[in-house]
Structure 1
Amino acid sequence: MEKNSFIDGIIDGVIVRDLKKFLDERGWLCELYRHDELYYEIHPQMAYASMTNPGITRGPHAHKEQTDIFCFIGPGNFKVVLWDNRSHSETYMTRQIIFAGQDSPKMIIVPPGVVHGYKSIGPGPGLVFNAPNKLYAGEGKRGPVDEIRYENDPNSPFKL
């Protein structure tokens, strides 16, 4: 296989789960995750939400130890791209593309070593919830940040 040549497919260890919105006259409710449906090793240690404007990309980056639990529920839609950069993985050099958000609510669990990024594709700003299993910069934000960043590398094979 040519260096930096990814094939499209499903990446081992990535979990994609449809999320269901419950609608009524008040609006909607969407259960994002349940403690009893996640492996203990990936139980969230923190949570955050981000809003991304249409056409804007976040990532790509990877983590050495952190697992991300992304929930794309809307408003907005996203193109999510994952690349298996784990040389020990059976799906090494596989790229997985997922469309998620208000039109297709999804939870996407991204294990360590899987490069990931997403682009907001509208129709307006998009909301993303993440509940990683590690604290950003460790206890009290005094530790190292577990990120390998690729977005500013012009030679990166990870292109959205």
Structure 2
Amino acid sequence: MKDFYVGVVLTDPFHTSIFGICVHNNFFGFRIVGFNSPQALAKYGLGIVGYHNYGKVFTHVAPHSCIVAGICLRIKNDMKLDEQAQAVLSYQNYTVPPAIEGVVLQPLKKHRSLEGAFMEHLRLNNGLVEGLSTPFEARQISVSWAVPGRINAFHIHPKRIQDELWCVLEGTLLVWLVDLRADSPTKGTRRPVLLSGEAPSLLYIPSGVAHGYRAGHRGALLLYAMNDQFNPSDPNEGRLPWDFFGAELWADDKG
């Protein structure tokens, strides 16, 4: 099945109208397959106008500085499906995850070679992390190993400020962040973040943002820094149930 588009070109230097039918092509764009003018056909031939979504105006600079412009309209040619399949049909969602105020995701440079790989984790100047878009003083650095499939959620640190800086060195973590700060402009926002040892990043999690993770099928090695130190006599390790924001957050993607 193909969707067909009708393209109408407005003008050229000789005011010769060009009309054509365009076939949608994911790789090359809209291809003009017919003209109403022999002069135009001889001059321009079959040419690529450029790919745009239907309903959008397209422009193309043709030979001899001729400006070609037009609009493409879609003629629907929907496929009919089995009624039971149609009833449960859904489509993949590619929307960008919503931002949470203060959360920073900063890629790191992992230098690879045949012999292995090297990466700088943090550069410190009097305890302050350099190159981060928000001030952060590292006071404790810890390592956590997660077995495959482990869910560790949700953590929050309400007694005093404890911002964290996460980096996955091996494996993969699906991290969920939920803004619980009462005065935050993004209060209540949920955001998923995928951290991977293949393409390491720094994830800055400000205080008041609940956080938890699920490890991938190979488990994960998490290196994280905090701007506070763990105090066993007055722990600041708040916990919420793993499914407090919905068990579906941790469901397998089987689609």
So what's the TM-score if we normalise by structure 2?
Answer: 0.53
Indicate yes or no: 2:155 matched with 1:61: yes
Checking the alignment, whether the CA contact within 8 Å between 1:60 and 1:158 is kept in structure 2 is no
Indicate yes or no: 2:240 matched with 1:150: yes
- Radius of gyration: which is bigger? 2
Amino acid in structure 2 at the alignment position of 1:27 = G
Flag structure 2 segments of 5+ consecutive residues without an equivalent: 1-96, 125-129, 251-255
Q: Distance in 1 between matches of 2:154 and 2:162?
A: 15
Which residue among 169, 177, 185 is the counterpart of 1:73?
169
Q: Tell me the CA shift for residue 88 of structure 1.
A: 0.3
Flag structure 1 segments of 5+ consecutive residues without an equivalent: 1-7
Counterpart in the other structure of 1:103: 198
Q: Distance in 2 between matches of 1:105 and 1:40?
A: 19
Distance 1:98 1:40, change over 3 A: closer
Amino acid in structure 2 at the alignment position of 1:15 = V
Between the two proteins, what is the percent identity of the paired residues? 26
Q: Tell me the CA shift for residue 102 of structure 1.
A: 2.3
SS at match of 1:37: coil
Q: Say how many residue pairs are matched.
A: 145
Amino acid in structure 2 at the alignment position of 1:9 = P
1:17-37 deviations in Å (ceiling 9; x for gaps): 112211123311121222322
Which structure exhibits the higher relative contact order, with contacts defined as CA atoms closer than 8 Å and separated by 6 or more residues? 1
1:96-129 deviations in Å (ceiling 9; x for gaps): 101111233211010000000011012x121100
Q: Tell me the CA shift for residue 40 of structure 1.
A: 8.1
Which residue among 171, 178, 185 is the counterpart of 1:90?
185
Q: Which runs of 4+ in 1 moved over 3 A?
A: 38-41
Counterpart in the other structure of 1:131: 225
So what's the TM-score if we normalise by structure 1?
Answer: 0.81
Amino acid in structure 1 at the alignment position of 2:183 = H
RMSD: 2.0
Q: Distance in 2 between matches of 1:133 and 1:158?
A: 30
Q: Distance in 2 between matches of 1:144 and 1:41?
A: 25
Q: Tell me the CA shift for residue 43 of structure 1.
A: 1.1
